[in-house]
Chain A
Amino acid sequence: MRYHAGDYQVIVIGAGHAGCEAALAAARLGCKTLLLTISLDTVAYMPCNPSVGGPAKGNVVREIDALGGEMGRNTDLTYLQMRLLNTGKGPAVHALRAQADKFYYAQKMKETVEATNNLTLRQGMVDELLSEDGRITGVVTHTGATYKAPAVVVTTGTYLRGKIIMGEVQYQGGPSGQLPSLKLTDSLLDHGFQLARFKTGTPPRVHRDSIDFSQCEIQPGDEEFYHFQFSDQVEPRQQLPCWLTYTNEHTHAVIQENLHRSPMFSGVIEGTGPRYCPSIEDKIVRFAERPSHQIFLEPEGRDTAEYYVQGLSTSLPEEVQLRMLRTIKGMERAEMMRPGYAIEYDAIVPTQLQLSLMTKEVQGLFTAGQINGTSGYEEAAGQGLIAGINAAQFARDRDPLILDRSDAYIAVMIDDLVTKGTNEPYRLLTSRAEYRLILRNDNADLRLMEIGHKIGLLSDERFARFLKKKEAIEREKGRMRTTRLKAEEINPKLSELGSAPIADAASLEQLLRRPEVSYEVLSALKPSPEDLHPEVKEQIEIQTKYAGYIEKSYQQIEKQKKLEQKLIPEDLDYGVIKGLSSESREKMSRIRPRSIGQASRISGVNPADISILMVYLETHGKRSVANA
């Protein structure tokens, strides 16, 4: 029996990393928001690796923080270990990565959700989407509860028609022993969506006390105190180490002998898996020449004995997994607490979305996270935040927030998804960004806080701190430009650092551009009159040292922006534009790019088509309006 269960402005389906960010954003923007989840016990749950961040992904977490989202804060509150990776490779690729306490993380996030105004958290599995005349109107749960709202965000993760596969064993299920969502797929199909079938997997978990850590290499956290938030309110946490060991020929032999029982090779799995996280059986087949592979042993939390066996993702039968584990050094007596498994799930083809993450087919319907073909908690959270913001904007009849590829990794990801689609679960990599030097870990606040504040998610207090920082950076940059050091003042230091001496005098800025010279060295000689925050010093160092490259990137961005700002009317009929190649016409009609810039990124659309499109737009009075 269906019954009316309530009216909301925004409904979010699924309370994973996308769903939590979406619901929190919508509620914080003042919308009456409902967050529905299959189980209240798995809010913000991490069914796979217990970590947050890393290259590109860590930048996303900081971007979320700068926009006023939750993932950075929640990680800082709960982490087990924090490391800044890639420190030897330059600031553009510095990457903050936390080992997460997955139980504490989930608990804290649930607390935040529960404590947020305008936000109702409720258990319920959505079976059906309701719509009228191409507009979403609400959802119906499996118990018949009917909730109404003008905006709905779907974040089903791997639950949609989820299927667990482990050797010959397979059953319908969500991750980590959860229920799958079986009926919602039909409702999406009824609404005309094209779906894809993807696959991912997870390794087994073993009992801490069954591991001989003395046989493994210790991987401690950084001694320096790092955190995701741009804030001075973060408390350091006691850190736990991870451990490194390796597979060997015995491990590989066990896998080889049982390859015929692997669903990957027996053809049971139909979903497309990601190339960047192949199962161990995949790895030993594709890279047969490698005698061993790294295995990281990572604690899943402070108050649990479970250890995650990173590097051993597998869908081999349970008993093979155990035999395989016990061939590994330090794991000879391993007790497996949960087996690894592969999971297949439905996703929607993301080219059916707009850059706002609203579907083109159904007004007011948004999707975010794994349902859009991505993988990873950070990717999910980044999309969830944008979808939540834009659902709230839609519900309040306001323009969507659309970030540019030069603003954020989040935008790179969304643009890639909706413009090019993906034929495997999409993971963010720094190499996907054309402006990697701009989208740094250190400057997410400078890139995004103004946007976060303007949209209404970033508090006035945090914004005030940001403005103070920004002004201090400008002041100090000015001082660096105008303060000069004479040859006799700096040359001894330069020769000590192995840098060529100067002839006469040079500004601090000129000196800092030299790779050998650091800000610390210069400020020791000519200190700033102010007591500068470390974040300010970091900016001075990076912005000065890399000024040439950064400037080049900005020039490219400027050039491209002109194209991004030439908007294409949503209702443009590509069929009447003479001269377009049929491939371009078909693709542009389907993808309906928002701007000339986006159109030029569609594969198969060539510059002649772009010129023709521009001619048409210019001459038919449907001119684009600069999106100032």
Chain B
Amino acid sequence: MFSIHMWIVFELLVSYDRMVMHMVLNGQAKRKVDRLGENCMNHFDTVAAIATALGEGSIAIIRVSGSEAIPIVDKIYRGRQRLTAVDSHTFNYGHIVDPETGEAVDEVFCAVLHAPRTYTGEHVVEIQGHGGIVAVQRVLRLVLNHGARLAEPGEFTKRAFLSGRIDLSQAEAVIDVIRSKTDMAMKLAMSQVEGQLSGKIRSLRQKMVEMMAHIEVTIDYPEHDVEDVTTQHVIAEGRQVAAEIDRLLAGATTGKILREGLKTVIIGKPNVGKSSLLNALSRSNRAIVTDIPGTTRDILEEMISLRGIPLNIIDTAGIRETDDVVEKIGVERSRSAMNQADLVLFMVDASRPLEAVDQELLAAVRHYPTILIQNKLDLPRRVELQELRQLAEGMQIVETSVATGKGLEQLEAAVEELFLSGGIEGKEGTYVSNARHVALLEKGRREMLEAIQSAELGMTLDLVAVDVKNCWMSLGEVIGEAVGDDLLDQIFSQFCLGK
């Protein structure tokens, strides 16, 4: 029932819960003896979510709450002591390790907090990692794969209310924050959702809803001359759906956005400030990969997390050595770098008039997602803005002075906007970078495999239909489409029924 636009409030949840946590940690919470909550609490399962906003702050916290919180995290934690053995309210240094591969994913502090003196009133583990989007999402996925469920929007806070951890004035303050953040969160989520993933999932669900309508119509209209759905049919269609979900998930687990980041090239003529820009971006953004054992060091300086978006600056070494890709290898080489790029940062020197090489390069980047950067605005402007606008038709233009740090924030905002609006598309298929989406897709795949299995075992259609519908609902949650009347709409538009 709660599937309605869950994703919209996902972002919301983050700030909502964080705020409550602060209140509790600041000792403002007045213990309230609550009744209802305690009755219900035991029934709650263990949930987890990222509790810090994406790309903000110097650490990222994954909060796990519920009766199984400690054993679940313990399964993926390697430290001096088992988390199940440590005292309550302790910080424990160690690593999060993927038990399947033995690979260390992040270096962490785990705060272990036993119920009831936690802000949800339940057992809580807070995993504080380095906060890069890749590491955080991998840790969250490990937690989810080992028995926790992804928290629903506002769920931590809901549990906190129910266990009487916060009082009225705090609750109302929280609400104001939620509501003021909703619009922003919704906007972001909407733009993301209009992208490729939702398109893929919509068409997948459309395929599924046709199959489901067929199943449902043979059930609800047994005497109509509609051909019965055979289990063979369900199996065949189900396999296609499962394969399609697999492809989406493959994009998530091995997709380059998580593995390598968005391939980004910085292009511009000599001395325009490319390496300064790279340095500035690296300085102001956390490097994604740190010197955690098991990860490679050599990509350290190329991978940056810009507002939570992983960027992989291609040919960085080249830029560093010569500060001039163009000079050395010419426009042709730049073109081939661009060919691999998901994003082009194109720099012009605003203190000098446009030259032929600028125009030539601009013409070359026209077909790539490009942000045009007018650099060196600390010096007097010599470039013709109108001319530039004409040449850069359709591109976002930002003004910077990398030397003074001015305009970097606008640049970051521009990259984020382009990414979230779907303007940057991966060359290797659809990105599924959100752990919630991954969790739902995996759930959907499991459900579809169960449907196929049931059908193969000769289970009846009423049971097979349950799994198919669950899968359809899980996929719907990814894009925030609730179970509505669309199944009925499909039944009545696809089949001719009547008395």
Residues of A within 8 A of B (CB): 48-49, 54-56, 85-86, 88-93, 95, 202-203, 275-280, 282-283, 286-287, 290, 293-294, 296, 310-311, 313, 429-432, 436-437, 515-516, 546, 549, 552-553, 558-560, 562-563, 566, 578-579, 581, 597, 600-601, 603, 605-608, 610-612, 614-615, 618-620, 623-624, 626
Chain B nearest CB, measured from A614 CB (Å): 6
With A and B bound together, what is the CA distance between A293 and B459 in angstroms? 31
Q: Does B462 contact A (CB under 8 A)?
A: yes
Cβ B498 vs Cβ A431 within 8 A: no
Give the interface centre of A311, A603, A615 by most chain B CB atoms within 10 Å: A615
Residues of B within 8 A of A (CB): 1-2, 4-6, 8-9, 12, 34-37, 39-40, 43, 152-154, 157-158, 161-162, 167-168, 171-172, 174-176, 178-179, 182, 216, 218-225, 228, 457-463, 465-466, 482, 484, 487-488, 491-492, 496-499
Cβ B219 vs Cβ A311 within 8 A: no
Residues on the B chain within 8 Å of A56, using CB:
220
Cβ B9 vs Cβ A606 within 8 A: yes
Contacts A89-B460, A579-B178 given; indicate if A311 touches B162 (C-beta within 8 A).
no
Cβ A611 vs Cβ B154 within 8 A: yes
Cβ B175 vs Cβ A290 within 8 A: no
A200 nearest CB neighbor, chain B only: B499
With A and B bound together, what is the CA distance between A436 and B219 in angstroms? 11
Cβ B499 vs Cβ A608 within 8 A: no
Chain B nearest CB, measured from A285 CB (Å): 11
17 additional contacts (CB under 8 A) given A93-B219, A431-B220, A559-B43 = A48-B499, A90-B461, A203-B499, A276-B492, A277-B497, A294-B224, A436-B462, A436-B466, A515-B459, A558-B43, A563-B1, A579-B178, A606-B5, A607-B154, A608-B179, A611-B153, A619-B172
Cβ B466 vs Cβ A55 within 8 A: no
Cβ A618 vs Cβ B161 within 8 A: yes
Cβ B461 vs Cβ A93 within 8 A: yes
Residues on the B chain within 8 Å of A516, using CB:
458
Cβ A549 vs Cβ B466 within 8 A: yes
Contacts A579-B179, A608-B182 given; indicate if A560 touches B1 (C-beta within 8 A).
yes
- Choose from A95, A286, A581 the contact partner of B222 (Cβ within 8 Å): A95
Residues on the B chain within 8 Å of A558, using CB:
43
Cβ A607 vs Cβ B5 within 8 A: yes
With A and B bound together, what is the CA distance between A54 and B176 in angstroms? 51
**18 contacting pairs across A/B (C-beta < 8 A):** A89-B219, A91-B462, A203-B499, A277-B499, A294-B224, A437-B466, A549-B463, A578-B179, A603-B482, A607-B5, A607-B154, A608-B9, A608-B12, A608-B178, A611-B178, A615-B175, A619-B171, A624-B36
- Choose from B6, B174, B457, B498 the contact partner of A280 (Cβ within 8 Å): B498
Residues on the A chain within 8 Å of B182, using CB:
581, 608
Chain B nearest CB, measured from A293 CB (Å): 7
Chain B nearest CB, measured from A364 CB (Å): 32
Residues on the A chain within 8 Å of B2, using CB:
600, 607, 610
Cβ A614 vs Cβ B161 within 8 A: yes
Cβ A278 vs Cβ B463 within 8 A: no
Contacts A563-B1, A600-B2, A626-B36 given; indicate if A278 touches B497 (C-beta within 8 A).
yes
Cβ A562 vs Cβ B40 within 8 A: yes
Contacts A280-B498, A429-B220, A608-B9 given; indicate if A92 touches B462 (C-beta within 8 A).
yes
Residues on the B chain within 8 Å of A279, using CB:
498
Cβ B499 vs Cβ A49 within 8 A: yes
With A and B bound together, what is the CA distance between A601 and B483 in angstroms? 10
- Choose from A91, A429, A578 the contact partner of B488 (Cβ within 8 Å): A429
With A and B bound together, what is the CA distance between A203 and B499 in angstroms? 8
With A and B bound together, what is the CA distance between A296 and B222 in angstroms? 13
A287 nearest CB neighbor, chain B only: B496
With A and B bound together, what is the CA distance between A142 and B313 in angstroms? 86
With A and B bound together, what is the CA distance between A552 and B446 in angstroms? 15
With A and B bound together, what is the CA distance between A626 and B37 in angstroms? 11
Residues on the B chain within 8 Å of A311, using CB:
498-499
Cβ A578 vs Cβ B175 within 8 A: yes
Cβ B172 vs Cβ A578 within 8 A: yes
Cβ B1 vs Cβ A600 within 8 A: yes
Cβ A86 vs Cβ B43 within 8 A: no
Residues on the B chain within 8 Å of A605, using CB:
4
Give the interface centre of B36, B161, B216 by most chain A CB atoms within 10 Å: B36
Cβ A515 vs Cβ B458 within 8 A: yes
Residues on the A chain within 8 Å of B458, using CB:
515-516
With A and B bound together, what is the CA distance between A566 and B40 in angstroms? 11
With A and B bound together, what is the CA distance between A67 and B484 in angstroms? 30
With A and B bound together, what is the CA distance between A546 and B461 in angstroms? 12
